[in-house]
Structure 1
Amino acid sequence: MLERPFANTETLRLADLHSLAIFYTPLDARFDRLTRLAQKALGVQVAAIALAHQGKLWFKSVQGWNIHELELSASFCARTLARGELTIVEDTRLDAEFARHQLVQGAPHFRFYAGFPIRDRGGIVVGTMAAYDLSPRQVSPADVQALRDLGDLAQREFLTAELCDAQAQIIGKLDLARRSAMIDALTRVWNRRAAEDLLALAVEQAEREDSGLAVCMLDVDRFKEINDTAGHQVGDQVLRRVAATLVSNVRDGDSVCRYGGDEFLVILQRISREEVERITDRIRQRMAEFPLRTKSGQVMVGISAGTAWRAPGRHMSGESLIELADQALYRAKQASRSGSRSGITAS
């Protein structure tokens, strides 16, 4: 077992995570951008931003490792959290504590770790920016500076992160257990239950502000065929890929939800019809740019989308918006079964 944080620090950390309202929240493009940058800049297998809470390490963003949560005592980051300073282990098998660690002796067999502490406004360590690799590494001064810079950026994002009004209301009124129950376990975006609550709040806000509101329904083309031919593990990879692409290509504050099966719903508040078209076109293009690489080979992932836009001044329920978006999605799929298409209904 690695070093544990002091109890008084853990109490302060817990209070601060509640105040930041960032624990058990969905995927966020701001943090995903930072972990992608860290993975590329450092040339490592895995890059992650993680938060500590009640003996758990929860991953806000992670690249290269399909994991959501770990026991804190079973994590490398426990040392960084306990010491509150940059931690570098160039070869885990040469470190007395890490050599016995389950992540070294068992899968994924990590041989390198570097972690930078993320602090709150009061200086309490609440998480880490971390890099892992499957081979030992020698760290250069440039690598150290890159990790420090990215850790500072992650810390700044946590301190300044803002959610849209609907998401802020949902998160603010729920305890951690209920908040966790509204996140889809596979894709780490909002689930259907959350989508219904978020849309109801978004409709109220749009009517109160007399602003535009859009609902976009998307599903994966040929998803049953992918599952049948490549297997359910590849199907799960496809769904995670779609969710991450949606989060990365909508605006900060837009709500991305897994609505069921291979179907996703995106709620876009304070938006014009022209901007809706730009966003849906960008999502479609991004999905077409990069095939998904799996153990079975490359999988081309296409999506179809249908969008309903509620103009300022119009009154329409969330259920009506979903129905119109679903109809637009059906028309888009009928228009082309071989590629991604999108359609928009304005009301």
Structure 2
Amino acid sequence: MIEAPPFPREDERVATLKSLGLLDTPLQERFEKITRMVRSAMRVPIAHFNLLDVDRQHLKSAQGVGGVDLPMEGSFCMHAIHEPSMLVVSDARKDPRFHDNPYVTGQFLDIRFYAGCPVRAPNGLPIGTLCAIDTKPRKMSPPCLAALRDLADMIETELRISSLSKAQEDLMAQLNAAERLARIDPLTRLWNRGGILELLEKEWSASRRHQKQVTLALVDIDCFKSINDVHGHAVGDAVIIETAKTLLASTRNEDAVGRIGGEEFLVILTQCTSDGLRDTAERMRLAVLEHAFYAGDARLPVTISCGVAAGIPQSDDGWMELMRTADESLYRAKASGRNCTEIGPRAVGAAA
């Protein structure tokens, strides 16, 4: 195995990566969308946007592979960031650089085909890669490789702009890496209960100052216990993960999605108008209804119920009443037969 040489400006490169505030943060649909496009356009089983830290490869967005961090030993991506455009390995087992690599032998992954484009920060230094990976040898056409480079360029464009709400930006800026990790759900990589409620408090406080509406949606997977009982907890976990990604894909970048219980999620809908409440919740519900969930070869009929509440903050702790109103709405949706949306009335402490 031939390890990649150190990047010529490695310390500066790592400092640039850390300054972007991307490490150990919740999933973002703006990157999930791009890795989904890589897997679809190039017809590969694995695609990821990989951030290269000092001693780990952090998967900011990944399709077809689990986990959050990969070992740095044998990293293909460290080779790729030395390339001006991309690194392409058609058959890693026949390549003298990689034939005995732990990512090829199956110790970490089972890579046969690899194409990785450097992703550069606004200052021009590479902070990671956008990769297409297959477990069998491939000969990729020039148009497909050009598409991968175009998608890597899209990530670089995203790095130059911010798509998070002001509350999420402020919270990220205040937390160090360990504090961010403590607010992320390890299964779904969304905000956990503590993280999303802290974010709600910040959103509520900012909205009270500017007298803007706050909108919440409580989402629960219907009949989830039966999924666990019939198919096992591994399938149940997979359903939770896929539901999380589907909710993320059906909301906007500036919205926030968190997992607050076993199969329950909280969505903070930023600047959602009263007229758009039901349409927004229904978009999430229909996205889950139409998503293909599987247990082995059998498709699972997964649905969600939504309880929505909205109001303009009138008191510091009114967000708790708004949560109760959303919870009552969710209860009505469950009682109405599930797979539906209920909109709550005006909450105490929040003007209609």
**Contact 1:2–1:76, Cα closer than 8 Å, also in 2:** no
Tell me whether 1:164 sits opposite 2:165 in the alignment. yes
CA distance in 2: counterparts of 1:160 and 1:257, whole angstroms: 23
Classify the secondary structure of the residue corresponding to 1:217.
strand
The residue aligned with 1:133 is 134
Output one character per residue of 1:43-77: Cα deviation in whole Å (capped at 9) or x when no partner. 11111111111211111111111231111224321
Deviations 1:97-135 (A, max 9, x none): 221122221164221000000011221110100000111
Contact 1:115 1:129 in 2 (8 A): yes
**How many angstroms does 1:309 deviate by?**
0.6
2:49 and 2:255 map into 1 onto residues whose CA distance is 21
| Matches of 2:344 and 2:74, distance apart in 1 | 50
The answer on whether the counterparts of 1:249 and 1:283 sit within 8 Å (CA) in structure 2 is: yes
Q: Please tell me whether the aligned partners of residues 231 and 295 of structure 2 are also in contact (alpha carbons under 8 angstroms).
A: no
Shift of 1:213: 0.7
**Matches of 2:177 and 2:13 in 1, distance apart?**
14
* 1:147 aligned onto 2:145: no
Query: Partners of 1:282 and 1:253 in 2: how far apart?
Result: 16
State the partner residue of 1:121: 122
Please list every run of 5 or more consecutive structure 1 residues that lacks an aligned counterpart in the other structure: none
Counterpart CA distance in 2 for 1:2 and 1:329 is 56
2:205 and 2:316 in contact (8 A); partners too: no
AA aligned to 1:298 is R
Shift of residue 316, structure 1, vs aligned partner: 6.0
**For residues 1-347 of structure 1, what are the structure 2 equivalents within 5 Å?**
2-4=2-4, 6=6, 9-83=9-83, 85-106=85-106, 108-295=109-296, 297-311=298-312, 317-337=318-338, 340-347=339-346
Percent of aligned pairs sharing the same letter: 36
Q: Distance in 2 between matches of 1:78 and 1:251?
A: 32
What is the CA distance between 1:315 and its match in structure 2?
Answer: 7.4
TM-score by length of 1: 0.94
**Residue type at the aligned position of 1:346:** P
**How far 1:4 sits from its partner (Å)?**
3.9
Provide Cα deviations, 1:4-43, integer angstroms capped at 9, x if missing partner: 4526633212221232222212111111111111111111
Alpha-carbon contact 1:293-1:299 (below 8 Å) kept: yes
Q: Measured at CA, do residues 312 and 178 of structure 1 come closer, stay the same or move farther in structure 2, by a change above 3 Å?
A: closer
- Amino acid in the other structure paired with 1:223: F
Amino acid at match of 1:59: L
How far residue 260 of structure 1 moved from its aligned partner, in angstroms, is 1.2
Partner Cα separation in structure 2 for residue 38 and residue 8 of structure 1: 29
How much has 1:296 moved relative to structure 2?
5.4
Contact 1:6-1:82 at 8 Å conserved across structures: no
Q: What CA RMSD, in Å, does the superposition of the two structures yield over aligned residues? A: 1.8
What is the Cα deviation at residue 290 of structure 1?
A: 2.5
Deviation at 1:93, TM superposition (A): 0.6
**Contact map agreement 1:211 1:271 (CA 8 A) in 2:** no
Offset from partner CA, 1:76-99 (integer Å, 9 cap, x none): 212113445410000011111221
CA–CA distance in structure 2, aligned partners of residues 245 and 5 of structure 1: 39
Number of residue pairs matched? Answer: 345
Distance in structure 2 (CA, Å) of the matches to 1:2 and 1:323? 58
